[in-house]
Amino acid sequence: MTISEIDELQHLPSDDWLWRESLHFSFHDVSGKLGGLATIGVLPNQKRVEGFAAIFPSAPSILLYRTEDPTEGKTGLFSVRGIGYDMLAPLQRWHLVVNADFSQVEPEQLISGTQVPEAKVPAGFDLTFDARSPAYQFPVLSWGLPKVAAQRFEQTGRMKGTVFIGGKTFPVNGLGFRDHFWGSRDWPGLSEVVAVHAQFSSRLTVNAVWGIEQGQRTAAGYVSRDGVNIPIRDVEVDIEVDPLSSFPRAARAEVTMADGGRLRLHAVPRSVLPLLLRQGEGELHGYECSTCFDDGRQIGYGTMEVTRLMRGAQDSGD
């Protein structure tokens, strides 16, 4: 299958209860001091649409927004309460607006269960995404499992607009990426996944995914260089974890491209948002990290996602 303009729209779902289609955007300004993300996910067999957004300011605290609507009367991927997307040109240009009351959360308190009553802050963003690379289609069976990532493509681009927090407005002129996924999300054989989305410039971005599936290491993704997507052949990742909080503290990744080129990345999270999600019979312990990347020649910004699938009570303390 080749990605075409029609793939920007919703797809016909299977009858799997976990089938989900989502459209995700992530951004950072060029200074790395401000970033954010937004996701709209449709679960047609569960008759609901979920929304998620976060803003990573320079302070340790993070602004978080979650919402959910029934699918009836909704426009699916393009709208959920507080989050809206407008496709201006297929595979080229999008406009996204988030306007909601966000919860101000302290990551350490959130993971320890000591979070005080959440302070609500009116916040959001108004941004335009302009593609700087073609859409990259991931392998249909990235992880060798029939129920994982049935179809998925990503694209890097420039993000421009504004972020507002309370009564203050901040200009954004930076980089980001978007992800469009449709299929089932049951990951029975996966124990760990690390996704790196590093934007160094409009000429160089890295979207790499590394995982362990049934004891076997696997990798996928691409490097966008001068507007050309180069598939990734292999990724080696080493994660340094804080012994008390289990937060990712640093990471090193060596990315080998299909043309033989290599990139060595050093990643240091600036903000870490811990997430706990139900996933089939287990739980997904995830960390969404606003991250500074260094390839030895230049500094870039983006996100790093670290996810572990936990099964049963014996794993609950990990």
Residue predicted with more confidence, 274 or 26: 26
Lowest mean pLDDT among 17-26, 37-46, 302-311: 302-311
For the cut 50, the answer to whether the pLDDT of residue 227 exceeds it is yes
pLDDT digits (tens, 9 = 90+) for 58-79: 766 799 999 999 988 766 789 9
Give the per-residue pLDDT at 318: 34
For the cut 80, the answer to whether the pLDDT of residue 303 exceeds it is yes
Average pLDDT over residues 222-249: 91
Cα-Cα-Cα-Cα dihedral sign, residues 232, 233, 238, 241: positive
> Which band of pLDDT confidence, cut at 50, 70 and 90, is reported for residue 312?
very low
> Which band of pLDDT confidence, cut at 50, 70 and 90, is reported for residue 244?
confident
Average pLDDT over residues 252-260: 96
Average pLDDT over residues 101-126: 76
For the cut 50, the answer to whether the pLDDT of residue 149 exceeds it is no
Average pLDDT over residues 87-95: 97
Give the per-residue pLDDT at 52: 94
Check: CB of residue 55 under 8 Å from CB of residue 122.
no
Give the per-residue pLDDT at 144: 44
Give the per-residue pLDDT at 316: 35
For the cut 90, the answer to whether the pLDDT of residue 211 exceeds it is no
Check: CB of residue 272 under 8 Å from CB of residue 239.
no
Average pLDDT over residues 77-91: 94
Residue predicted with more confidence, 315 or 51: 51
Check: CB of residue 90 under 8 Å from CB of residue 9.
no
Number of neighbouring beta carbons within 10 Å of residue 45: 14
- Which range, 91-100, 104-113, 144-153, has the best average confidence (pLDDT)? 91-100
For the cut 50, the answer to whether the pLDDT of residue 217 exceeds it is yes
Give the per-residue pLDDT at 60: 67
Give the per-residue pLDDT at 195: 93
Average pLDDT over residues 228-248: 91
Q: What is the Cα–Cα distance from 305 to 176, expressed in whole angstroms?
A: 15
Q: What is the Cα–Cα distance from 158 to 202, expressed in whole angstroms?
A: 7
> Which band of pLDDT confidence, cut at 50, 70 and 90, is reported for residue 242?
confident
Q: What is the Cα–Cα distance from 305 to 318, expressed in whole angstroms?
A: 17
Give the per-residue pLDDT at 140: 63
> Which band of pLDDT confidence, cut at 50, 70 and 90, is reported for residue 55?
very high
Give the per-residue pLDDT at 315: 38
Mean of all residue pLDDT scores within the chain:
86
Residue predicted with more confidence, 1 or 133: 133
**Residue % of the chain over a pLDDT of 90:** 62
